[in-house]
Structure 1
Amino acid sequence: MSGGRPPVGGYVVDVRNGRLGEVMDHVGGCVQLRPVGGGREWDCPPECVEVAAPGEVLRERVRRLNREARLLGAIEPPR
């Protein structure tokens, strides 16, 4: 990412694998990322992140909500 470190709370793409993540911290020369909506964090070198487009973040949030809704539907008893 040119121009410095991404801000904590911002969203970036790990260009090594295309994963979208929220910036949680900067530790030991790495950017700590977490999947949108939560999950296990991973470390990424700062040169391997690019700012995520707002549309990418929105799409990922909708995907996660849909996935959670499907899981809840499978757990709740039919009415």
Structure 2
Amino acid sequence: MAQNVPTDGQVTARIPEIGAIMLDTARDRIGEFRGVAGPYWFLRPMRGGIEWEANPEHVRPATPAERLHAETARANARSRGSLL
């Protein structure tokens, strides 16, 4: 179950479920939520690759259109054999 954690002492962010599709607005990248380390959230690119740290203040759930785009890209990468 998700829980609340302070991100800057005043704002409380809700931790998403592992695997939730999120948008890092600071980087304009979509990734799967992988966990928390200190004040940061870890997101992994949908097409595979290295996780990145994201400030929770700049992360929001992906819209249905963003999810569809990311899931299509992941399926295409899987069919090419380039998904890690």
Structure 2 length as normaliser, TM-score?
A: 0.68
Q: Any residues of structure 2 matched to 1:30-41 within 5 Å, and which? A: 30-41=40-51
Gaps of 5+ in 1: 73-79
Moved over 2 A (4+): 63-69
* Bigger proportion of residues as helix: 1
- Alignment partner, residue 54 of structure 1: 64
Secondary structure, aligned partner of 2:71 = helix
- Alignment partner, residue 26 of structure 1: 36
User: For the aligned residues, what is the CA RMSD?
Assistant: 2.3
How many residues matched? 71
Structure 1 residues 34 and 16, CA gap change in structure 2 (3 angstroms) = same
Secondary structure, aligned partner of 2:14 = coil
Gaps of 5+ in 2: 1-10
Structure 1 length as normaliser, TM-score?
A: 0.71
Worse-matched range after superposition: 3-12 or 50-59: 3-12
* Bigger proportion of residues as strand: 2
Report the Cα distance in structure 2 between the residues aligned to 1:64 and 1:51, rounded to whole angstroms: 17
Q: Percent identity, aligned pairs only?
A: 32
